């Protein structure tokens, strides 16, 4: 899966418009990057990528690129 496809999944997960996210976006700058989004990311990673993300993984993410790399 390409980074663009991963970004599209993240935009959908956070209920953002297409094109709102890019690899360089700082997660702390997003109002939508809240506890519900973090939980949804754990579910998305398991369902779509068969990856187990831990709380430490989530805390380590600072940009959208960090998430895409982990997925």
Res 46: pLDDT: 97
Average pLDDT in the chain: 96
Radius of gyration of the chain (CA): 11
Res 56: pLDDT: 96
Residue range 3-70 forms a domain whose CATH class is: mainly alpha
pTM, two decimal places: 0.91
Q: What are the sequence ranges of the domains in the chain?
A: 3-70
Mean pLDDT of 32-47: 96
Res 65: pLDDT: 98
Provide the pLDDT confidence category of residue 40 given band limits of 50, 70 and 90. Answer: very high
């Amino acid at each position: 899966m390409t980074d663009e496809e991963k970004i599209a999944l993240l935009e959908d997960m956070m209920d953002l418009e297409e094109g709102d996210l890019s690899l360089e976006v700082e997660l702390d700058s997003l109002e939508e990057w809240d506890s519900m989004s973090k939980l949804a990311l754990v579910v998305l990673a398991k369902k779509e990528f068969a990856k187990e993300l831990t709380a430490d993984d989530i805390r380590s993410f600072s940009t959208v690129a960090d998430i895409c790399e982990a997925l």
